[in-house]
Chain A
């Protein structure tokens, strides 16, 4: 009897999950109403500032490498990743290229298309470029009961597919909360975003620090 009850319970749980999934699953090609609401919320072109915490895992290293700092984005200036941990440096990603600055050392990165694609990825994600995402990835999204969502992106063809296996974006009421990347060779990167501010105004000092290419 107990066994029958257990089977019945399992079947009901499965049915419930299936019914629930059918309502909340979506893709970029076939968005649902809930996702459209998220898109509406995210699509503003206002400048953004947030803190980030990044963990990188490599198969050849036992512990994740930890990075942290501030991410800034504006449609006009592009994306800036200011690292404060483990050392101070800035990556500025614009349409013109990727500028890396550490102290007086200033270099342009991203010569290979693979590298460029990787850095461009972040820029597109923060710009919430859904058209580009739809073009580049097979997508599968899911809403959870608490309103949080996860969007899984698998690269189709092109430079990204050579290095990235899967990207998972997670968010909720506060917007994009986490970016997780599964890279080829067993490497993983997880970036958590916090203290998000929108409609921020970058003052001169901040601009100079975060967008060094403006002052060249």
Chain B
């Protein structure tokens, strides 16, 4: 394509990308909750989502205090009234037993239906199977218990309930009080606040917090020195979002500035910098377009991880846009870039087959972006022209001592023995020490530090969950556990109990007789007698039972709501085990351990393992591609360098970290792609006898710089990713510079060659030798400052280049040297040569190296590759016999 067509194509692509993004982005849901990272749609994920979005995640713990003073009732009332007025607050409770008033009322109302069956189970275990139990027996047992209770010291505080509850059924609820937080007196008033919206949306964060501030202002009218502190998932979510946003902005800005600074410093021209920038922007836009077209829900973390794409894409731009500024010919450069990018892109595209949506999104983003980066870099690569990069930036590969590579690996690789995998959801947490301190302080003050293992017994609805809880308690024996099933008989048991007593109409009479005979005043039990009659006559059924359970679920305050939870798709009963006790009989029961951070961490573990499996599969594919493109020897060599760089990186990280996780694996994958890129260039350059292109050096600097900045991130995952990449790139550089024992060295040191020229150091005009390949040599001549260049000088520089070629093409193990005999022709193509910039020399022998006369054709070009001088000259190489005779 012509240059103009290229630009038109680019403009059309850019417009197309914008159109796709404008159309698709509003339709795509960008998930931010960590819960959305959980793989699959299984029940555990449902439960966790329900907990985070609707249940515990919506609960705030709030403290009001007024220094040394108690919080006044009027101020508290004003605060609560303001909360009532807020649409963002669903409910609120003061954290004491008054919070249980509503739930206690429901339980009191339902005591015969829910608690009496347990009383019967305790005293007459076989009552349901039809054993004979008489009215008098039950009455006598009831009065026995009543007497025993009255003889207990604690009856002192409870006995006013006895006329309404002679069965002492509410005493079964004593343990309910145990799960209320033990709030320390004098610390102020503590409240639970249930927010109406998800903690991950704006309404559940800033809008809610503004309403709380307003409530405080209302309360301060009554008590001016009132202070408020609160904590909850929404507080962390909001602060974390703000922290991550500012951190990403800071890191991206610093990274971009650094890349620009290095590029401008190295290239010193605006046009290539702009082209490189365009490749970067277009490839990122393309990657985003691919993801939003393929997925209707995209997780923001996938984009954050995917942003490492820019680190690779910018390398392709460096290599292709700066192609004519280094020693490798364009074909070799293109081949290396295409081989590297296609193999890396395939490596990521294969992730589309991963079972986890999040990884598929990363694969689509990076894979698509890499292909796009290659295409855009090819389109934006200049057709011709451009000045050569300073060869000071280039380095030669495999020049170190042969022992350096093995020695490096010997020191580093034993670190792999310390490698442990440890997947932690906390790696994604933005550190919020102040908020965490407030959270810990409030939770300590409300006794939230007690650790009990929690389990959820679930079902499609509350009835199903209750049934499952019953089956579990029958199977497990139920000893030592705490759950709402203790206050709530099953529908079947409840019905059986009612029918049992309905079939005994003389029970009340027997009871009254028993009471009177033991000194009780039976008339005092009138409240009980009235309620008992209503209980026996009521119509019951599953609907009524479910309504009562729902009523209790709604009445439970704060975190106690988790004990009976009615969700849209899933309902559950929570079971608390005693400290150190684990739930048994987990198999075949709809039960799950409630450990959100553990579940999220194990999900991360699944991500890592899947990624590892795919990475190994991808690397095999990449190896195959390299062997096809470069042959088994060079392909395998490049692969081995990249593979050892990754292994070294993981080994160094194993020394540095206690456990490696998902972000180390992602970093290693990226380090492999970049190292492979460098290895291909190093091998190609070595084969051509030239220095590794300066674009690789720039790439190394920008990569190390950008990831060095990322390594300062406060988010552990980002820091781990960056450190892994830095270690990988650093290792690759060491291996590329080191003596690679299995590699045949083709490299002549430029300095060594120049020192062997017979002209003497003062007469040498060449400033650098760019490359020697076959019969060609390319070199650079930098004129002295302030002096015009004479054509003769350029011819002399060409002759020195020819002499350097002779040195680098020894014959019979001996170096050759010759003397300039005659200049056959010298064509001055520009009237006047005035330049202070380097002049590019190309000299080609017109015959193979041999003794005697050799003809050379040479040209000198300026920085814009305009030919200044062309020349043909001959050199005489004395035959070996003459040299000996001379000696």
Chain B nearest Cβ from A92, distance in angstroms: 11
Chain B nearest Cβ from A3, distance in angstroms: 45
B519 contacts the other chain (CB 8 A): yes
> What are 9 inter-chain pairs, A to B, with CB distance below 8 A?
A59-B521, A60-B162, A61-B150, A89-B152, A112-B177, A114-B157, A115-B157, A118-B157, A184-B160
A63 contacts the other chain (CB 8 A): yes
B160 engages A185 (CB within 8 Å): yes
Q: Which of A63, A86, A183 makes the CB contact (< 8 A) with B151?
A: A86
Chain B nearest Cβ from A88, distance in angstroms: 11
For chain A, the bracket of interface size reads: 20 to 34
Q: Looking across the interface, which residue of chain A has its beta carbon closest to that of B521?
A: A60
B588 contacts the other chain (CB 8 A): no
Which residues between 58 and 97 of chain A lie within 8 Å of chain B, taking CB atoms?
Answer: 58-63, 65, 67, 81, 83, 86-87, 89, 91
Bound: A145/B775 CA distance, A: 134
Q: Looking across the interface, which residue of chain B has its beta carbon closest to that of A65?
A: B150
Bound: A185/B555 CA distance, A: 27
Chain B nearest Cβ from A51, distance in angstroms: 16
Q: Looking across the interface, which residue of chain B has its beta carbon closest to that of A100?
A: B154
Bound: A111/B174 CA distance, A: 8
Q: Which of A61, A67, A183 makes the CB contact (< 8 A) with B160?
A: A183
Mask: chain B, 94-121; 1 = CB below 8 Å from A; 0 = not:
0011000000000000000000000000
B157 engages A61 (CB within 8 Å): no
B160 engages A187 (CB within 8 Å): yes
A91 engages B157 (CB within 8 Å): no
**Among the interface residues B155, B159, B163, which one has the most CB atoms of the partner chain A within 10 A?**
B159
Given contacts A115-B157, A118-B156, contact A60 B151 (CB under 8 A): no
Closest 4 CB pairs of A and B: A111-B177, A60-B524, A185-B160, A112-B97
Other than the known A58-B150, A61-B519, A67-B153, what 15 A-B pairs have Cβ atoms closer than 8 Å?
A58-B159, A59-B163, A59-B524, A60-B163, A81-B153, A86-B151, A89-B153, A111-B97, A111-B180, A112-B97, A113-B97, A114-B157, A183-B160, A185-B160, A187-B159
**Among the interface residues A112, A163, A185, which one has the most CB atoms of the partner chain B within 10 A?**
A112
B584 contacts the other chain (CB 8 A): no
Bound: A61/B519 CA distance, A: 6
Chain B: interface secondary structure? helix
Bound: A114/B150 CA distance, A: 18
Bound: A28/B762 CA distance, A: 112
Q: Looking across the interface, which residue of chain A has its beta carbon closest to that of B519?
A: A62
B538 contacts the other chain (CB 8 A): no
B655 contacts the other chain (CB 8 A): no
A58 engages B96 (CB within 8 Å): no
Chain A nearest Cβ from B563, distance in angstroms: 16
Which residues from chain B contact A61 at a C-beta distance below 8 Å? Answer: 150, 519-521
Given contacts A60-B521, A89-B153, contact A111 B178 (CB under 8 A): yes
Mask: chain B, 389-405; 1 = CB below 8 Å from A; 0 = not:
00000000000000000
Q: Looking across the interface, which residue of chain B has its beta carbon closest to that of A117?
A: B157
Which residues between 165 and 217 of chain B lie within 8 Å of chain A, taking CB atoms?
Answer: 174, 177-178, 180
Q: Looking across the interface, which residue of chain B has its beta carbon closest to that of A102?
A: B152
Q: Which of B97, B151, B154 makes the CB contact (< 8 A) with A65?
A: B151
* Chain B residues at the A interface, C-beta cutoff of 8 Å: 96-97, 150-157, 159-160, 162-163, 174, 177-178, 180, 519-521, 524-525
Chain B nearest Cβ from A48, distance in angstroms: 19
Given contacts A60-B521, A61-B521, A62-B519, contact A91 B153 (CB under 8 A): yes
Which residues from chain B contact A59 at a C-beta distance below 8 Å? Answer: 163, 521, 524
Bound: A130/B752 CA distance, A: 100
Q: Looking across the interface, which residue of chain B has its beta carbon closest to that of A108?
A: B178
A56 contacts the other chain (CB 8 A): yes
Which residues from chain B contact A112 at a C-beta distance below 8 Å? Answer: 97, 177
Chain A nearest Cβ from B231, distance in angstroms: 24
Given contacts A86-B151, A111-B180, A113-B96, contact A62 B156 (CB under 8 A): no
The count of A-to-B residue pairs whose CB atoms sit within 8 angstroms is 62
Q: Looking across the interface, which residue of chain A has its beta carbon closest to that of B518?
A: A61
Given contacts A87-B151, A113-B96, A113-B97, contact A62 B157 (CB under 8 A): no
Chain A: interface secondary structure? mixed
Which residues from chain B contact A118 at a C-beta distance below 8 Å? Answer: 156-157
Which residues from chain A contact B151 at a C-beta distance below 8 Å? Answer: 65, 86-87
Bound: A89/B152 CA distance, A: 9
Which residues from chain A contact B162 at a C-beta distance below 8 Å? Answer: 58, 60
A109 contacts the other chain (CB 8 A): yes
A62 engages B153 (CB within 8 Å): no
Bound: A183/B521 CA distance, A: 18
Bound: A80/B695 CA distance, A: 85
A189 engages B96 (CB within 8 Å): no
Q: Looking across the interface, which residue of chain A has its beta carbon closest to that of B166?
A: A60
Bound: A113/B525 CA distance, A: 27
B153 engages A60 (CB within 8 Å): no
Given contacts A183-B160, A185-B160, contact A62 B177 (CB under 8 A): no
Bound: A56/B154 CA distance, A: 12
Bound: A87/B151 CA distance, A: 8
Chain A nearest Cβ from B176, distance in angstroms: 8
Which residues from chain A contact B155 at a C-beta distance below 8 Å? Answer: 56
B180 engages A62 (CB within 8 Å): no
Q: Looking across the interface, which residue of chain B has its beta carbon closest to that of A184?
A: B160
Q: Looking across the interface, which residue of chain A has its beta carbon closest to that of B100?
A: A112
B160 engages A163 (CB within 8 Å): yes
Q: Looking across the interface, which residue of chain A has its beta carbon closest to that of B183?
A: A113
Bound: A91/B96 CA distance, A: 24
Which residues from chain B contact A115 at a C-beta distance below 8 Å? Answer: 157
Q: Which of B97, B150, B521 makes the CB contact (< 8 A) with A62?
A: B521
Mask: chain A, 10-25; 1 = CB below 8 Å from B; 0 = not:
0000000000000000
Which residues between 181 and 197 of chain A lie within 8 Å of chain B, taking CB atoms?
Answer: 183-185, 187, 189
Bound: A61/B151 CA distance, A: 12
Chain A nearest Cβ from B859, distance in angstroms: 96
Q: Looking across the interface, which residue of chain A has its beta carbon closest to that of B524?
A: A60
Which residues between 103 and 140 of chain A lie within 8 Å of chain B, taking CB atoms?
Answer: 109, 111-115, 118-119
Mask: chain A, 184-212; 1 = CB below 8 Å from B; 0 = not:
11010100000000000000000000000
Bound: A133/B71 CA distance, A: 20
Which residues from chain A contact B178 at a C-beta distance below 8 Å? Answer: 111
Which residues from chain A contact B97 at a C-beta distance below 8 Å? Answer: 111-114
Chain B nearest Cβ from A113, distance in angstroms: 6
Bound: A183/B159 CA distance, A: 10
Chain B nearest Cβ from A33, distance in angstroms: 33
Which residues from chain A contact B152 at a C-beta distance below 8 Å? Answer: 89
Chain B nearest Cβ from A179, distance in angstroms: 12
Q: Looking across the interface, which residue of chain B has its beta carbon closest to that of A111?
A: B177
Bound: A119/B157 CA distance, A: 9
Bound: A72/B772 CA distance, A: 104
Bound: A60/B519 CA distance, A: 9
Bound: A109/B152 CA distance, A: 12
Which residues from chain A contact B156 at a C-beta distance below 8 Å? Answer: 56, 118, 189
Bound: A56/B163 CA distance, A: 16
Given contacts A62-B520, A111-B97, contact A163 B159 (CB under 8 A): no
Which residues from chain A contact B150 at a C-beta distance below 8 Å? Answer: 56, 58, 61, 65
Chain A nearest Cβ from B105, distance in angstroms: 14
Mask: chain A, 163-182; 1 = CB below 8 Å from B; 0 = not:
10000000000000000000
Q: Looking across the interface, which residue of chain A has its beta carbon closest to that of B160?
A: A185
B157 engages A83 (CB within 8 Å): no
Q: Looking across the interface, which residue of chain B has its beta carbon closest to that of A87?
A: B151
**Among the interface residues A61, A81, A119, A183, which one has the most CB atoms of the partner chain B within 10 A?**
A61
Bound: A65/B162 CA distance, A: 15
Bound: A67/B156 CA distance, A: 11
Bound: A185/B524 CA distance, A: 11
Which residues from chain B contact A114 at a C-beta distance below 8 Å? Answer: 97, 157
Chain A nearest Cβ from B560, distance in angstroms: 14
**Among the interface residues B97, B156, B157, B180, which one has the most CB atoms of the partner chain A within 10 A?**
B156
Which residues from chain A contact B519 at a C-beta distance below 8 Å? Answer: 61-63
Which residues from chain B contact A187 at a C-beta distance below 8 Å? Answer: 159-160
Chain B nearest Cβ from A97, distance in angstroms: 9
